[in-house]
Amino acid sequence: MHNDQKLLFEILVGCILNVIFLALITLVLWPMGKSMLALRLAKGYGLLWITLYLTFLLLGRIQNLFRVNIYDHHQAFVISNLAASCLLQVGWSAFAALVVHSFVAGSPVWIKLVLYVVGILSCLISFFAVSSFYKGQIYKIVSLPLATISFVLFSVWLSLGQ
């Protein structure tokens, strides 16, 4: 498969996973009366995909401008892509923690647990979205733990602020 086709295929798979995830959490959250969480996450995912695409294009233009590529300036290329992917992951984790936090107030403990699991799973889905643009192993090794840890930290921080 050509590189452009592979990128398009991975983006398509990421979008399909995103839609399946949203459908499944809607089915899980609907009986609890929390299905609006899925809608808020869907809006966030829309913004994430737009931001991902624009960041990928802008970073690519900047790297071309400074002639940074995987062959000539390996470290600058990897570090710039790693910074972009990590910032996107942390941004999603902060958003997911805020959205989940807005739905847990006044809920029983078991519903809170379900909502936080949905939040962590949303970070996994955002990881697949970010990984469809930033495919290197180093990005994947750093991004997934970073997304999970930052979601937990943001959630704890928001809970302490009550």
Q: Are 106 and 33 in contact (CB under 8 A)?
A: no
| Average confidence (pLDDT) over 102-108 | 93
What pLDDT band is residue 158 in, cutting at 50, 70 and 90? very high
Residue 162: the pLDDT is 67
Question: Among 34-38, 44-48, 49-53, 105-109, which is the least confidently predicted range?
Answer: 105-109
Q: Provide CB contacts within 8 A for 152, sequence distance 6+.
A: 120
What percentage of the chain carries pLDDT values higher than 70? 99
| Average confidence (pLDDT) over 92-98 | 98
Please report, for the chain, the start and end positions of each structural domain, with discontinuous segments joined by +: 3-160
Residue 92 has pLDDT above 70, yes or no: yes
CA distance 116 to 31: 17
Q: Are 143 and 124 in contact (CB under 8 A)?
A: no
Arithmetic mean of pLDDT over the chain: 95
Tokens for 103, please give them: 């739905």
Most confident of the ranges 1-10, 43-52, 71-80:
43-52
Residue 80 has pLDDT above 90, yes or no: yes
Residue 106 has pLDDT above 80, yes or no: yes
Q: Tens of pLDDT along 39-65?
A: 999 999 999 999 999 999 999 999 999
| Average confidence (pLDDT) over 84-99 | 98
CA dihedral (147, 151, 153, 156) in degrees, to 10, reads -170
Query: Tokens 């498969």 — which residue?
Result: 1
Buried b (16+ CB within 10 A) or exposed e, 107-130: eeeebbebbbebbbebbebbbbbb
**Range list of H helices, the chain:** 3-29, 36-65, 74-104, 109-133, 137-160
Residue 2: the pLDDT is 75
| Average confidence (pLDDT) over 104-133 | 96
What pLDDT band is residue 129 in, cutting at 50, 70 and 90? very high
